[in-house]
Amino acid sequence: MLKKYNKLWVFGDSYATPFFHVKPADSFWGLAAQALEVNTVMNCSRIGNSFSSVQQLLIGMSQEIDWYNDMIFVGIPPLERITIFNNNDVDTPYQGYKFNTSTWYYELIDIAEHRGLVSMLNFGGDRELIIHSNRRWIETEALRQIFLLTQWLDGINANYMIINLSRNFDHIDDWEPGRVVLAHCKEHKKCIVFDKTYYNINIGVNRPADSDAPEGHHGPEGNRYFFKKSLLPKLHQCYTQRTQAATPAEVLDTLTTYLEFIHAKRIRT
C-alpha cells in the first residue's frame, strides 16, 4: 500500500500542464494523486517551460511545501530550452492550478516566483548556444542539476520523484566529464531519467493525441500507460507503507526485549 500525502506538487512543461490533450483526472499526475490519496494538487506546469523554469519554481515555492506530508513531481522538459528575463514585459504573469481531487474543480493561483520570466522553445537549434550543439554535454549539464537537486531533497527527507518527460537520456558511461553525475542519477531510485520516460515508453504502443510522431502529447491511454508501467512501480519501490504483520523473528525479538526489561525491573525491586 502506498503512503498517503496531503498535497501533490507538479512542476513541468506541456506534458504535465492541465487540460493539454488530457483531463486532469486521466493524466499521469492525476492518476498518481488518486493512488496517493492526496486532497489537493498544486500543478505549477506551463507549456514550453525549460528545466531552469522548473527549478526556479520548485526552489522559489519551497517554503510553501510541507516536505513531510506532501509529494513533489519534478518534471524534466526537453533540454533545448532556456529561461530568460522578458524585457518587453517585466510583469509577465505566471499562473498555476490548485485542484480539489474530490471534484477536480480548480482555482488559478498567481506564482510570483516566475513573474517576468519566459522560456524560449527549441533555442539553440541554430547552435547559437554552445551548450545546445552537443547532446552529450547538454545531458551532462542536466544531470549535474539533477545531482544537486537530489542532494538537497534527500537532505531534507523530501518525498519526490524526478521524471523525464522527454526522451530517454543516453547511457554515456565512457565519457569522463559526465561519469560521476551519470552514475549517481542511474542508481538513484527516485529518478526516471534513462528508461521508461513519458516519451519513450509510449513509442510503438500509444500514438500521441496531437501528432503522428512520437514527440506529441498523449491522451488518456498514453498517460495511463506511462503511469502504470513506469511511475507507479517507482512509487511503490520508494513509498510503500508497510502493513504486513511482523515476522516470527521480529515477534521473538520484541518478546525477548520485553522479558529482559521485566527481569531487570524485578532485580532492581
- The number of distinct structural domains making up the chain is 1
CATH of the domain at 248: 3.40.50.1110
Mean pLDDT within 182-189: 95
Domain residue limits at 183: 7-268
Q: Do the domain assignments include residue 34? A: yes
Please give the pLDDT value at position 7: 98
Mean pLDDT across 120-141: 68
1 in a structural domain: no
The reported pLDDT for the residue numbered 203 is: 94
Q: Give the rounded percent of residues in the chain with a pLDDT score beyond 90.
A: 70
pLDDT of residue 137: 84
Is 21 part of any domain?
yes
Domain membership flag for residue 44: yes
Domain membership of residue 128 (yes or no) is yes
Residue 2 domain-assigned (yes or no): no
Q: SS3 letters for the chain?
A: CECCCCEEEEECCHHHCCCCCCCHHHCHHHHHHHHCCCCEEEECCCCCCCHHHHHHHHHHCHHHCCCCCEEEEEEECCCCCEEEECCCCCCCCCEEEEEECCCCEEEEEECHHHCCEEEECCCCCCCCCHHHCCHHHHHHHHHHHHHHHHHHHHHCCCEEEEEECCCCCCCCCCCHHHHHHHHHHHHCCCEECCCCCCCHHHCCCCCCCCCCCCCCCCCHHHHHHHHHHHHHHHHHHHHECCCCCCCHHHHHHHHHHHHHHHHHHHHHC
| Residue 263: predicted pLDDT | 59
Please give the model's pTM, rounded to 2 decimal places.
0.86
